[in-house]
Amino acid sequence: MSAVPEWSRSNLWDLFDLSPIAGSDLQAYLETTLAKCVAWFRASGGSIFLATNYDTYELKASFGAMMELPEHAVIHRGQGIGGIVAQSGRGKIINDPHRDPELAGVKGNSAIVSSMVIPLVDTKRKTIGILNISRRFGELHFGDDDLEQAEALGAHVALSVSNAQMVATLHETINETLIANEKLRTVLDSVAGSVVVVDANGAVVNHNQSSDHSQLIEALNHECDSVFGNALRATTKDVIKSGVAKKERVFDKESDRWWVIQGLPLNSGGAVMTVQETTDDVRRQREASRTKRLAEIGQMTAAIAHEIRNPLTGIRSAAQMIKQDHEMVDEFIPLIEEEALKLNRLCEEFLEFARPIPMDLTSTSLADAILPVVKLAKPCFEEKGIQYHESLSTNQPILQLDVRRVGQVVHNLLRNACEATPSGGSIRLEIDADDFRVIDTGSGIAPEAQEKLFSPFFTTKSDGTGLGLCTSRKIIDAHGGTISVTSEPGHGTTFTVTFNRNAA
Ligand code: ADP
Ligand code: MG
């Protein structure tokens, strides 16, 4: 082509006008651009194919003579003129295309006299589309100048198309993110507890709308010095630093409130902290065990009357004997004393059982709570010639325990084991993270007796009170734990006590 006529110069600038793409309406942009290209080259038709995947290009816009193309015409990479241009990344002029029936996958192109097939190559040198501009019979053939211009235009169109595609993808991603965010927020808001997201420095970046989220934020921002605040800050710091999930129970003695704090580390370096106050659950549980105990006390009344009657009868008989014969004082006074002591011990143990347990919880490991008590039981083992073994897990997390009460349970279990084990037998104490076992090689317990073990006053010993295991269970219950027994008569017994680290 010779000099560019004046009228079309402004049209050339139009070709570079990016405004149609601003609204990310790619289709409108393609159609306008194609029409302008056809006009610029004074051609009679044109088409644009865009990549649907790496190997195929689908017809997206056609103009003039190319309107006859089937709606979803496809060019395969490497096949036909269009496919070869896509593969080589270089534009091509085809004159007298009726001699070349494969022109850009175009069928029925007999009216076309000259065509330019231009690859639309993006900045990563990938062919993202194919531009085809054709002239009919009676029009001039395209020359090398035309090809050069068309390639420049092609580069520009490729840039605009990939921009538009990026914008569309971005819009889609933003929309998807917004939807996902909204879903997440709804889920977080519907969670019963408070959820707070903190960054790697522990600063709050997001939270749900729970009733006490402000208390959490204050605590995390070091605005309150409380047991809860300190525990939350410590757990958060720990989760961020270790990158390991954590779950803690927190108890504030002063306000008698309980919380469960959970932390999940984020890959980005922060953490998601969830807090649930469990005070009501704990109180409900205490109330339930109180009710249970009251029912048991009811059942015990008959048993206790029986227990009291025996020593009382003994005392009365002794008194009558003394009354009849004063000389017998020395013989019967110790008997009276002994029976009175028995009554006193019975009263003490009963009171211990009947009283609600005022728990005095402290943060301590199981080993620290148990080991000092073991020392007290050792003389009994030595006296009877029983071997004692101990195993201790190195994982000793901090639990909330009433040390004195837990000690009482350990003492009861070790004493029972000692009483049941003959000389030469052995007793083993195993302390794990949140449970412990007392294993003996003693007499074992008959299956029918196993069912009654934890009932008050169940004893097989002449001097037993039958309150040891019953009180032990009450103590473990109050900790939210469990106590269980397995036994093989004649071989031995294992008592297992488990503290649920996360129980209310
Ligand atoms: P007491 O020791 O006063 O009898 P406990 O409540 O401590 O009361 O125990 C109840 C009963 O359970 C005992 O009398 C005994 O029959 C049985 N028992 C408890 N521990 C063991 C054990 N380690 N081996 C065998 N029997 C046991
Ligand atoms: Mg006992």
Q: DSSP secondary structure string, 342-394?
A: HHHHHHHHHHHHHS------EEE-HHHHHHHHHHHHHHHHHHHT-EEEEEE-S
The pLDDT, as a whole number, for residue 98 is 62
Q: Are residues 441 and 490 in the same domain?
A: yes
Domain total for the chain? 4
- Contact between 80 and 102 under an 8 Å Cβ cutoff? The reply is yes
Q: Are residues 77 and 151 in the same domain?
A: yes
Q: What's at 24, amino acid-wise?
A: S
Q: What is the token pair recorded at 26?
A: 């790619």
For residue 326, give Cα distances in angstroms to 311, 313, 334.
Answer: 21, 19, 14
Question: Which one of 217, 248, 277 terminates a domain?
Answer: 277
CA–CA dist 485, 451 (Å, integer): 10
The pLDDT, as a whole number, for residue 217 is 82
3-state secondary structure of 108: coil
What CATH code is carried by the domain that includes residue 268?
A: 3.30.450.20
The pLDDT, as a whole number, for residue 3 is 42
What CATH code is carried by the domain that includes residue 444?
A: 3.30.565.10
The pLDDT, as a whole number, for residue 152 is 87
Q: Are residues 294 and 201 in the same domain?
A: no
For residue 229, give Cα distances in angstroms to 17, 40, 204, 226, 236.
Answer: 60, 73, 14, 5, 11
| CA nearest neighbour of 373 among 330, 411, 329, 327 | 411
The pLDDT, as a whole number, for residue 166 is 83
Q: Using one digit for the tens of pLDDT, what is the confidence trace for 211-268? A: 777 778 888 887 777 888 899 999 999 999 999 999 988 999 888 899 999 999 999 8
Q: Does residue 455 sit within a domain?
A: yes
- Contact between 95 and 140 under an 8 Å Cβ cutoff? The reply is no
Q: What is the pTM of this model?
A: 0.49
Q: Does residue 454 sit within a domain?
A: yes
The pLDDT, as a whole number, for residue 66 is 67
CA–CA dist 457, 263 (Å, integer): 46
Q: Are residues 40 and 127 in the same domain?
A: yes
CA–CA dist 391, 438 (Å, integer): 11
294 C-alpha to center of ligand 2: Å? Answer: 22
Q: Does residue 179 sit within a domain?
A: no
- Ligand nearest to the CA of residue 470, numbered in listed order: 1
CA–CA dist 496, 477 (Å, integer): 13
Pocket lined around ligand 1, Cβ cut-off 6 Å: 412, 416-417, 420, 440, 442-443, 445, 453, 458-461, 464-470, 493
168 C-alpha to center of ligand 1: Å? Answer: 77
| CA nearest neighbour of 398 among 216, 188, 232, 248 | 248
Q: Which helix (H) or strand (E) holds 428?
A: strand 426-431
The stretches in the chain having pLDDT less than 50 are 1-10, 18-20, 104-108, 503-504
458 C-alpha to center of ligand 1: Å? Answer: 8
Domain boundaries, position 458: 362-498
Q: Does residue 175 sit within a domain?
A: no
Q: Are residues 153 and 237 in the same domain?
A: no
466 C-alpha to center of ligand 1: Å? Answer: 7
Q: Are residues 158 and 12 in the same domain?
A: yes
Q: Are residues 14 and 140 in the same domain?
A: yes
Contacts 24+ apart (CB under 8 A), 17-25: 18/160, 21/160, 21/163, 21/164, 21/167, 24/164, 24/167, 24/168, 24/171
Q: Does residue 177 sit within a domain?
A: no
Q: Are residues 44 and 158 in the same domain?
A: yes
Q: Does residue 149 sit within a domain?
A: yes
Q: Are residues 244 and 301 in the same domain?
A: no
For residue 214, give Cα distances in angstroms to 88, 190, 223, 310.
Answer: 63, 17, 11, 63
Q: Using one digit for the tens of pLDDT, what is the confidence trace for 168-220? A: 788 889 999 898 888 887 887 777 788 888 999 888 888 888 777 777 888 88
Among 346, 412, 469, say which to mutate for ligand 1: greatest number of ligand atoms within 8 Å of CB.
469
Q: What residue owns the CA closest to ligand 1's atom 23?
A: 417
| CA nearest neighbour of 115 among 99, 131, 135, 100 | 135
494 C-alpha to center of ligand 2: Å? Answer: 14
- Ligand nearest to the CA of residue 454, numbered in listed order: 1
